[in-house]
Chain A
């Protein structure tokens, strides 16, 4: 085998190892949501009405419909092996894309090796930031990177075929992860604009009529999704919900957290490359833009590895590793004899451990006891928090308040029901005009109107804090603290007294 191929094999194995080591013993709650939605689509087609909530007639937008189908199909393979391999395949593709960017200007063997190692470190970051799970962000990342690649190819070769990728990618994005379409235009802007800075060399793409036509075409192609314009505007329409419901992904990153420290490191790297005058305009624009995105929310930190790649691309060619290269060359044979079998064994071992874990992924530990509790009781509508919703949907429950898409509670998305104000009210804010008008600011009126039989809330981080206290004080509901039954379960369930068995 050639030297180059050996190196690739070794690092792919090492990357596998990292990925497998970090597999959890349950799926991400988003995965449960998407599998449930995928099953629904396979049974009844693309939905336009929300069948999961107890409020009748609300609109639904599934911004990841094809990905949900893919997940549901993968989940059909016994013992969750389908999901397992889908996860690995995505991780490996992202890793390969990262390494390709980092090693773009690497010349020596040593620099290429460092590039691959850096890719693994970045993969570790993604794992820590929870994006290596079964999320469409992985595909978005690949598409964004491919967009960059296509634009660079066009810039270098002037071959117009590369520009056709713009409408194709926006079409794919609109169907895989509709809310992310806008980022493709951000990348376009980064390649077309040169900031007025003499320190930075321009490598911008000339704005031609053909490019303009492709951009116009891409807007049209993005609209070719099951929800049309609403699908594209989903992100814009839904953001208001996060003023009412706090989600970790939408929250600001803390400086002491892993992404916070990563952001400081990335800032240092940008400053370093900029001071060395190694940036070209498009790269600087991308770095600044993506770093800004990382600032805005926890979710945005998925952009940080990409910025890191762009900086490393410029840093690595300056690394001179002659001594280390000589050392490696001296022991290369020994390494091949011992290192590769050892790596293979480790990959196999961690793979087996991962494979052992995955069959139990059907059981989401936190909510398992809730499901067991509800299974023993008559069906009924449930007021619940987003954390419990997805797993209950995965287990076939309907008539819920929320799942991991709380934006569906937002009136601009669902067509009129002010779920966000209800959530505010039940969580402890002063009743809004809507709540006073519709329910006379009386929780009992709300609970009766929708025939709520169960209320589920987290013991420590109460989502419906006000309602919890109200249920306790009213004396009409029985309270069951599930941590008494299962220590891993943080939830409390209130059961309407008539529904008690």
Chain B
């Protein structure tokens, strides 16, 4: 056992990175098996729709991720859902590896980069990035971009332009993160303006950017609706911790450039609705700032220390990854009880839907920010119309407007007034399924 552990450690200086990548891989595999994120299905659905009929009704979302959608949807058809698993198993380790590579700087030692990579992996996992989808892809591009643009000189402007262009079309809001990262370490104002322009121009020319410019009310509406992060959430905790570290560091050390970058990132997090992504991006400069301030321990001399450090690191990371995955599943996907590696069809959350009688007639579902969109994306993916029911809509008017003859809800809490109306009315019958309630109209 000792030799088994000793040999690779002796010969591989990237061992911590590899181990952490493997952990990232494992976390991802667990998450991928447990659930398919609705955003992946949505993106593929929109991509398919765009290839067949042009822009779908929900243009705001489709435009943001159009490139990813039209690349992924034909591949998804070809590989019949296994693309998801492949993508997720490739994307996340890549993200972890690139995060780690950012920490390979003289004096940083060998342990810190590995641990930092693991922290980045944890951050990604905790903020909803452990899945295949446009956000994960954008995150990797962002990490690659940062590697390419971190010197702060003029030669990097074309690269910035290119990365902004690419990111804007994969997931438009992600390009905003570049403003924060691109200004990290830049000292002159002109240089900063040039770099900001190199990011802003392609972003505004992307379909998502054009859509936002033409429909500002929709974008600001989304910000106001979804933009606030609850306190005591992991996201908010990160914001507060990073803010505190930034202030603390800015007082202890000279130089304000990185603090400006951080301030931009913090503002982005506060203002932008889909803040989770930016939090992950925000974590990286903060972690680097923190790690640069700490003198890395010299662990190269002793193999014993290496093993100790790795063991500690692995234990910490395993606990964090385990807790993270559990919290992630517990908060966002509490319905998941039965797991299957076969992909979507085995997903517990939508398992009974195909068996429900009357599905082809009509499906009504309450879609709220607090609930995951598994049903909606699953049904949409399979070509069934989904009508969102707003909580405030009068049930009688809703049924009249849609002409529904069958209603399916996961629980009455999804649309209480509608459920109450159907239960109270003598013209509807209620059927109980293991994880669904179905009402059929009595003809």
Contacts and interface: CB of A to CB of B under 8 A. Distances in A.
Decide whether A and B assemble into one complex: yes
Interface of A: 251-257, 260, 263-264, 267-268, 270-272, 274-276, 294-296, 427-430, 443, 459-460, 462, 465-474
Interface string B421-435: 111110010000000
A251 B231 CA distance: 9
26 contacts: A252-B233, A253-B230, A254-B229, A254-B230, A254-B231, A255-B270, A256-B270, A256-B271, A264-B239, A271-B243, A271-B248, A271-B251, A272-B247, A274-B248, A295-B232, A427-B413, A428-B416, A428-B419, A429-B412, A469-B395, A469-B416, A470-B424, A471-B420, A472-B420, A473-B420, A473-B422
A261 to B, nearest CB: 8
A429 B411 contact: yes
B199 interface: no
B357 interface: no
B417 interface: yes
A135 to B, nearest CB: 21
B382 interface: no
Contact of A472 (B233, B239, B392, B421): B421
A385 to B, nearest CB: 14
* 10 A-B pairs with least C-beta separation: A428-B416, A469-B420, A473-B424, A465-B416, A254-B228, A473-B425, A469-B421, A470-B424, A469-B417, A275-B251
B362 interface: no
Given A264-B239, A430-B411, A465-B420, A460 B270 contact: no
Given A271-B248, A429-B411, A466 B416 contact: yes
B391 A255 contact: no
B252 interface: yes
Provide the main secondary structure of the chain A interface.
helix
Interface string B25-67: 0000000000000000000000000000000000000000000
B420 A252 contact: no
A462 B247 contact: no
A295 B421 contact: no
B351 interface: no
A474 B415 CA distance: 17
B413 A268 contact: no
Contacts of A296: 231-232
A462 B422 CA distance: 17
B229 A255 contact: yes
B240 interface: yes
B221 to A, nearest CB: 14
A472 B231 CA distance: 38
Provide the main secondary structure of the chain B interface.
helix
B239 A255 contact: yes
A268 B416 CA distance: 43
Contacts of B411: 429-430
B244 interface: yes
B430 to A, nearest CB: 11
A264 B416 contact: no
B396 interface: yes
Contacts of A427: 413, 416
A294 B240 CA distance: 12
Given A275-B251, A466-B412, A473 B395 contact: yes
Given A255-B236, A264-B239, A270 B244 contact: yes
B6 to A, nearest CB: 36
B227 interface: yes
B418 interface: yes
Given A252-B232, A255-B228, A473-B395, A468 B417 contact: yes
Nearest to B249: A275
A276 B251 contact: yes
A175 to B, nearest CB: 31
Contacts of A474: 424-425
A466 B419 contact: yes
Contacts of A251: 230
Contacts of B395: 469, 472-473
Contacts of A460: 392
A466 B420 contact: yes
B325 to A, nearest CB: 23
B246 to A, nearest CB: 8
B423 A473 contact: yes
A443 B424 contact: yes
A384 B236 CA distance: 35
Contact of A268 (B247, B396, B428): B247
Nearest to A444: B424
Contact of B412 (A257, A275, A430): A430
Interface string B178-191: 00000000000000
Nearest to A425: B412
B416 A462 contact: yes
B228 A256 contact: yes
A469 B399 CA distance: 12
A267 B240 contact: yes
A427 B419 CA distance: 11
Contacts of B244: 267-268, 270-271
A471 B416 contact: no
Interface in B350-409: 391-392, 394-396
Nearest to B245: A271
B412 A428 contact: yes
Contacts of B247: 267-268, 271-272, 275
Contact of A470 (B228, B251, B266, B423): B423
Contact of A263 (B231, B396, B415, B420): B231
Nearest to B242: A267
